[in-house]
Structure 1
Amino acid sequence: MRRLITFLSLVLGVVLGVPGSASAIANGEPVPDGRYRFSVKLTMTGIPTATGGRRNSACSGALVAAEWVITAGHCFRDANGVRVEYPVADLTTATVGRTDLAGTGGHEVEVVAVRQSPTADVALARLATPVRDVRPIRLGKRAPEPGDVLRVTGYGSTTSVNPAPVTRLRTGQMVVVSVASSVVGLSGFAPQPDTTPCPYDSGGPFFTESKRARPALVALVSGGPSCPHTGVESAARTDNIADWIRAAIRAG
């Protein structure tokens, strides 16, 4: 449902000349400057459509290595909706380490290659030049358990209805309610019971937080009901494909 809403709103934006949405987590809160700098905004300009036209889109993600961003696999689809291992847009730009998109901090780097996970809705996007001054998020190895509270960040929309763009990274917390082989089910936790990802949050990182360790990536925003909602959000697990992630990064 969210992917359909995202597509329709983007097509309408192209027709009417309205910029693509760049807002964020529904009923979340703004991220303070300099926090969660590993968060990434992916901007796709000129994606081919099945009718021969072009559309724009956006996703969220996280820096996992100097030259690599992790995001949802469905963020890279051809005109037939098939996930592919190459940038489908005329230009795909990763904005890294910039909490406020209206500012000038961080980096804007072109995405030049894609690697798709064979088992999950997860992709790695390679950057044209490495980002050296932003510390990547740590890959978690422990499987999430029901009751775990995870934080999510994203540059998506605050609602599925007429998405309104904002320019600041937002965040919220969700609680794990189920765990399957490739997905995690989560429901809203804080600051509201219906704090949830929205269109263009796809690929945003779900991660654990601890006073004794750096944030650890557990899953990525993949899909869910229209937002905000109190239902179950589906996130693509990354803990059980950490070896594939590392191998893909090493292979380049």
Structure 2
Amino acid sequence: MPFNAKLTSKDIPVEGGGVRGGGCSGSLIAPDWIITAGHCFHDLDGTRVGGTPQYHMTVAVGKINDDDPRGHVVQAVDVRQSPVNDLALVKLSAPITDIAPLTLPTGPPKVGEDVDFVGWGSLSATVVAPADHMKRGHFEVSEIRHTELDMSPREARTVENSPCHDDSGSPFFIPEGDQKGRLVAIEDNGPDCPQPGVETTARVDTILDWIHEQMS
């Protein structure tokens, strides 16, 4: 799925001085915009923040592993935090015009609807580091709330098919062939991988007007 995005940073400030590394996942929704979790961009207190990122965040789009010569590597230059859920839009330093973005939903999904997940999060519940390749799993919509959706796995969980640390912002989408899809929600939080449980995701359809305003 070439619209996938891997977000990584090496200079996230920590209390008391110093920096740490970290990452998230996301997806391309317009040539110069990706969507991810809001908490991927935060201040020292962990509060979500918008505007120019307070640390460098590299965004790799269109790769299936770190050594993939395809795709693009750009920078996050502006962050727009959703006013209603843990979701953010991130403007890229250069547009990506040769990859089809995920299309946005036209309405809410249905309970029981099948969706796919892709992300670049950790392959361990204890050793937190982004994977060196894209992961993919299959889920279904199990509950619909005002600004969130619960997603239940459709197969036995492994670290390869379930969101883990650094998978925040991963898209849950309805595939449309091998290259395209329609976005439903993005990963916010869930159980320690690969433990049983549902994933809590941020709905996209409830904030469509806001998304279009930010990208206009």
Query: Which piece of structure 1 moves more, 236-245 or 57-66?
Result: 236-245
Equivalent AA in structure 2 for residue 117 of structure 1: S
1:98 and 2:63 aligned: yes
Query: Which piece of structure 1 moves more, 96-105 or 163-172?
Result: 163-172
How far apart, in 1, do the equivalents of 2:181 and 2:136 lie? 14
How far apart, in 2, do the equivalents of 1:199 and 1:117 lie? 21
Partner of residue 207, structure 1: 173
Describe the SS at the equivalent of 2:133. coil
Q: Deviations over 1:1-35 (max 9, x none)?
A: xxxxxxxxxxxxxxxxxxxxxxxxxxxxxxxxxxx
Partner of residue 231, structure 1: 197
1:131 and 2:96 aligned: yes
Q: CA deviation at 1:166?
A: 3.6
TM-score by length of 1: 0.80
Q: Which has the higher contact order (CA 8 A, sep 6+)?
A: 1
Describe the SS at the equivalent of 1:248. helix
In structure 2, the gaps of 5 or more residues are: none
Describe the SS at the equivalent of 1:186. strand
| Pairing partner for 2:139 from 164, 174, 189 | 174
How far apart, in 2, do the equivalents of 1:165 and 1:63 lie? 19
Describe the SS at the equivalent of 1:131. coil
TM-score by length of 2: 0.93
> Would the alpha carbon gap of residues 133 and 205 (structure 1) be closer, same or farther in structure 2, given more than 3 Å must change?
same
Partner of residue 87, structure 2: 122
How far apart, in 2, do the equivalents of 1:117 and 1:164 lie? 26
Describe the SS at the equivalent of 1:207. strand
How many residue pairs end up in the alignment? 212
Q: Deviations over 1:174-214 (max 9, x none)?
A: 11111101111111113x25642100110010001246x94
Question: In angstroms, what is the RMSD of aligned CA positions?
Answer: 1.7
> Would the alpha carbon gap of residues 41 and 249 (structure 1) be closer, same or farther in structure 2, given more than 3 Å must change?
same
How far apart, in 1, do the equivalents of 2:47 and 2:108 lie? 28
* 1:38-187 correspondence runs (5 A): 38-85=3-50, 86-89=52-55, 91-163=56-128, 166-187=131-152
Describe the SS at the equivalent of 1:52. coil
In structure 1, the gaps of 5 or more residues are: 1-35
1:240 and 2:215 aligned: no
> Would the alpha carbon gap of residues 165 and 39 (structure 1) be closer, same or farther in structure 2, given more than 3 Å must change?
closer
Q: Deviations over 1:124-167 (max 9, x none)?
A: 11111111111111001221222111101000012312246541
The percent identity for this pair of structures is 39
Q: CA deviation at 1:88?
A: 2.2
Describe the SS at the equivalent of 2:169. coil
- Native 8 Å contact 2:120 2:130 kept in 1: no
